[in-house]
Amino acid sequence: MLKKIFSIVFCLLLAACNQTEAEIESLTPGDLSAANFTMTEVAAHSVETDCWMVLQGKVYDITKHIPKHPGGKKIIESCGKDVTEIFYPPADSGISRHMRVEDSLLAEYFIGNLTP
């Protein structure tokens, strides 16, 4: 029962539940891989104090990373957006590729998957 209550509260705090009740019940603390978000939900988190972004179909809450970002607050321009092309631009686009982000950093901020 406590697990179900935690899962529902957790999901409500994220303000993004596309899961069925059974999927919600299966969530555990630290198991965010089951969370699914739409681009509309990600776009609602587009300010310095609440910043999510998408990279290759994965959703990250990078709010706590903003003060640590080597490029300063420029990162805020990407809040609420899909940044995949910034990190992996098409070869013929003329866009400079963003420096590689360490996998451990991505894992720290991962909150779920992007759904259509």
Residues 13-36 pLDDT 10s: 444 444 444 544 444 444 544 599
**DSSP state string for 33-90:** TT-EE-HHHHHT-EETTEEEEEETTEEEE-GGGGGG-TTGGGGGGGTTEE-HHHHS--
CA–CA gap between residue 61 and residue 29 (Å, rounded): 16
Residue type for 74, please?
A: K
Name the CATH superfamily housing domain 33-114: Cytochrome b5-like heme/steroid binding domain (3.10.120.10)
Which residue did the predictor score with more confidence, 70 or 29? 70
Phi, psi of 114 (to 5 degrees): -85, 135
Residue 13 CB coordination number (10 Å): 8
Domain ranges of the chain: 33-114
Q: Average model confidence (pLDDT) for the chain?
A: 73
Assessment of whether the complete model's pTM goes beyond 0.75? no
For residue 34, how many other CB atoms are within 10 A of its CB? 15
Q: Residue 84 pLDDT > 60, yes or no?
A: yes
Q: What is the mean pLDDT of residues 56-64?
A: 94
What CA–CA distance (Å, rounded) separates 90 from 112?
A: 25
